[in-house]
Chain A
Amino acid sequence: MKKTYELTPAQKMHYRWIRQYRTQQVAGLSIVASIKADIDFDILKKAILLEYQRYGCMRVRFTEPDEEGEVKQYLSDEKITDIPIKDLSDMTMEDADAVMQKWAYETFDGDNIPMCEVFLMKLPEGYNGFFIHMDHRLIDSCGVVVMTNDIMALYTHFKFGSELPEDLADYEEVLTRDLEKEQNPKRFAKDKKFWDEQLDKFGEPLYSDIQGPEVLERARKKHRKKSLRAADIEKKNLFVQVKDYPLEEVPTKEIIDFCMTHNLSITNLLLLGIRTYLSKQNGGQEDISIQNFISRRSTKDEWTSGGSRTVMFPCRTVISQETTFMEAAYIIQNTQNGIYLHAGYDPALIYEEIKKRYKTPKDTTYESCYLTYQPMPVKPDNPYLKEIPMHNKWFANGAATKKMYLTVTHTPDGGMNFSYHYQVADLGEKNMELLHYYLMRIIFRGMENSDMTIGKIIETV
């Protein structure tokens, strides 16, 4: 009899989306990792098969849903013996990416089945590597980076005799600790008190849209409720487009230096930029909520255990126009620090409480923007791969539960990348262009004049 475990709050979040949107596609995660070099595919296969043993999350499966639709997880002991090879080397890289993008749209349907698929890849222009497609409940983006680096470290160990990488943390041990923490009644009471106090202090949140107040007005008309403070979410057309904007090394350094000097995290600076844009678009609205993803990886075991540790919490701040940029940054920082302390809480419970208090209509939301900031560089610290060109790419799963989801990453050239995933049902590239343009202007204007008020920044950008 296999030992089964409850899902963690982070896993529940993805599972709720799967149930709400009725497709596993919303929880798909895919990446290709390749290098411009001849690869010994027998050795790479050996490395990946070993990774299945080292990185337990790759073997996670889910039970059949019970009467309430809930599932449990367990580690399968079924041995994976083969990794299929796919040859796309006779195409252009653009076409090969398009083929892999299609794979990223595929779903893992059914229970007690593998939720992870790996292919060895022969790609155009001499690139070779592997493609991984997984369910987000098994892994998050930090976990993917740890996994790809570990596979490459195993490959160089078997190929060139480099040192065998250290063991990764045991998935089940870390999962057990997480579930114990979550079920600690004193911890639960403290977390609940923190989140409830936000509502006691500020009352019901207020929606703010990238496109301005007309979206909320539309929802008010539809629900025939003038005082409605939440807007409808898109449930029919989940198709998402991606628009990337790079930021060069010099301005990136300015951001990093500003944050270092003022003891501010980059996440909080980005949250300030987005909230100021939303305030500008919504007639100076002061009560703004943005969903921010937190990757709960702090200890060494949490970093290397795999699993999905990314949880999304609303960062809600009420900031007046007279507040200076710097003061506003610290308000956000304090809010975020409180959230970090209480991040073991299941975010669904926050919304249950809101619904209970304010009777929020079904399928509505208070947030239009979602942010993930990934401080981790994607380039592996592997001396054997240092000078070799790479082609690594993340593929969108093609179905977004979020209206606009911004992922900010650092690039190997010292710059940053702003990747906007937006639902095409309501938004177009023009909206993203506008958002990015103003986001940059707000952040840089604020950094240059940190004593300037938010109102003045909105007026002058």
Chain B
Amino acid sequence: MSIEKEFRKLIAQYSGVSPEEVAASCRFREDLGFSSLDFMSLLGEVEDEFDIELAPEKLCDIHTVGEAMNLIASMV
């Protein structure tokens, strides 16, 4: 499964939105209803799933699925 597909699948588990509906432009908080705990828990899963370590200072700049996807892709 591609990284993008895997990531969408993870987001779907948190948001209740199907993976196909998770668009790159979706904002985690406003569109997908993520709380800060949800968002950080998702990132923890991302770290474990893709075996990466996300730098805390970069996390503040992530607002959309696309931004998160780009960051993950740059690290895998």
Known: A187-B48, A344-B44. A299 touches B36 (CB 8 A): no
Chain B residues whose CB sits within 8 angstroms of the CB of A265 once the complex forms: 35-36
Residues of A219-272 at the interface with B, using a CB-CB cut-off of 8 Å, are 263, 265
Label chain B's interface by main secondary structure.
helix
Report the bound CA distance from A300 to B14 in whole Å.
6
Query: Cβ of A336 and Cβ of B36 under 8 Å apart?
Result: yes
Assess the B40–A341 pair: CB atoms within 8 A.
yes
CB pair B40 A181 closer than 8 Å: no
| Contact (Cβ within 8 A) B16 A190 | no
Q: Is B41 an interface residue (CB 8 A)?
A: yes
User: Are A340 and B36 closer than 8 Å at their CB atoms?
Assistant: yes
CA distance A184 to B39 in the complex (A): 20
Taking CB atoms, residues of chain A closer than 8 Å to B53 are 190
Smallest CB separation, A268 vs chain B (Å): 8
A452 vs B35: C-alpha distance when bound (angstroms): 27
Residues of A within 8 A of B40 (CB): 337, 340-341, 343
Across the interface, do B36 and A341 meet the contact criterion of CB distance under 8 Å?
no
Are B36 and A298 interface neighbours, CB within 8 A? Answer: no
How many A-B pairs have beta carbons closer than 8 Å: the answer is 54
Cα A238 to Cα B37 in complex, Å, equals 32
Q: Are B48 and A186 in contact (CB under 8 A)?
A: yes
Q: Once the chains are docked, how many angstroms separate the CA of A337 from the CA of B39?
A: 9
**Given A265-B36, A301-B13, A336-B36, A186 and B51 touching (CB < 8 A)?**
yes
Q: CA A296 – CA B14 in complex, angstroms?
A: 12
Contact with A along B43-65 (1 / 0, CB 8 A): 11001100101001001000000
Question: Is B48 touching A340 in the complex (CB atoms < 8 A)?
Answer: no
A73 within 8 A of B: no
A377, CB-defined interface residue at 8 Å: no
| A186-B48, A190-B53 known; A337 vs B59 contact (CB < 8 Å) | yes
- The answer, yes or no, to whether B67 is at the interface (CB within 8 Å) is no
- The answer to whether A84 has its CB under 8 Å from any CB of chain B is no
Residues of B contacting A203 with CB < 8 Å? none
A338 in the interface (beta carbon within 8 A): yes
A294 and B48 contact, Cβ closer than 8 Å, known pairs A299-B13, A299-B14, A300-B13: no
Give complex CA distance A184, B45 in Å: 11
As a 0/1 sequence over residues 276 to 299 of chain A, the CB contacts with chain B under 8 angstroms (1 = contact) are 000000000000000000111011
Is there a chain A Cβ closer than 8 Å to B69's Cβ?
A: no
Q: Which residues of A contact B16 (CB under 8 A)?
A: 300
Task: List, in ascending order, chain A residues with CB within 8 A of B47's CB.
Answer: 187, 190
| Interface contact B37-A340, CB-CB below 8 Å | yes
User: Which interface class (under 10, 10 to 19, 20 to 34, 35 or more) fits A?
Assistant: 20 to 34
**B26, CB-defined interface residue at 8 Å:** no
Nearest-CB distance from A122 to chain B (Å)?
A: 38
Measured in the bound complex, the distance between the Cα atoms of B42 and A343 in whole Å is: 12
Least CB separation from A296: chain B residue: B41
A184 engages B48 (CB within 8 Å): yes
Q: Are A298 and B48 in contact (CB under 8 A)?
A: no
Distance A334 CA – B57 CA, assembled complex (angstroms): 10
Question: Which residues of chain B come closer than 8 Å to A334, judged between CB atoms?
Answer: 56
Q: Which residues of A contact B29 (CB under 8 A)?
A: 263
Is residue A34 contacting chain B, with contact meaning CB distance below 8 A?
no
**A375 CB contacts on chain B under 8 angstroms:** 35
Q: How far is the CB of A264 from chain B (nearest CB, A)?
A: 9
Q: Is the CB of B56 within 8 A of A343?
A: no
- CB-CB < 8 A to A294: which residues of B? 37
Query: Nearest chain B CB to A443's CB is how many angstroms away?
Result: 19
Identity of the chain B residue whose Cβ is nearest the Cβ of A264 in the assembled complex: B36
B48 touches A181 (CB 8 A): yes
The interface residues of chain B lying within 8 Å CB-to-CB of A336 are 36
Residue of A nearest to B13 (CB): A299
**Do B56 and A298 touch (CB < 8 A)?**
no
Shortest CB-to-CB span from A341 to chain B, Å, is 4
Q: Which of B1-58 contact A (CB under 8 A)?
A: 13-14, 16, 29, 35-44, 47-48, 51, 53, 56
Question: Can you report 9 A-B residue pairs in the complex whose CB atoms are below 8 A from each other?
Answer: A265-B36, A295-B37, A298-B37, A298-B38, A333-B36, A337-B40, A340-B41, A341-B56, A343-B40
- Which A residues are within 8 Å of any B CB, using their own CB? 181, 184, 186-187, 190, 263, 265, 294-296, 298-301, 333-334, 336-338, 340-344, 375
Closest 10 CB pairs of A and B: A340-B40, A298-B38, A298-B41, A299-B13, A341-B40, A340-B37, A341-B44, A299-B14, A337-B40, A298-B14
Taking beta carbons and an 8 Å cutoff, which residues of B are in contact with A?
13-14, 16, 29, 35-44, 47-48, 51, 53, 56, 59
